[in-house]
Amino acid sequence: MKESKIEKALKNKVEEMGGMALKFVSPGMAGVPDRIVLIPKGRVVFIELKAPGKKLRPLQLKRKLQLELLGFKVYIIDSLQGIDGFVREVFQ
């Protein structure tokens, strides 16, 4: 399964749950997660999407750790099942 299919499914599911999954592009800072997810009641998480079995590149891992040190949750999703688990966890 392609990463783009997982990304589209994530966007649709988040919107269905009342949130927003915004594409994250940060000029001048490579390696940021693919999506910023805005969840009702003012919660924000980041998501890095991967094709099944793919791993984070070193720079992506560095950005993940930087965001986590600031107190943000960063999810790695590489499957449609991963979307379901993410939704169960954050849309409680």
pLDDT tens digits along 15-72:
999 999 999 999 999 999 999 999 999 999 999 999 999 999 999 999 999 999 999 9
CA gap 84, 39 in Å, rounded: 15
Per-residue pLDDT at 42:
95
Per-residue pLDDT at 48:
98
> Could you tell me the residue ranges of all domains in the chain?
3-90
Looking at the DSSP bridge assignments, the partners of residue 36 are: 22, 46
What band does 5 get if pLDDT is binned at 50, 70 and 90? very high
Mention the CATH class of domain 3-90: alpha beta
Per-residue pLDDT at 92:
79
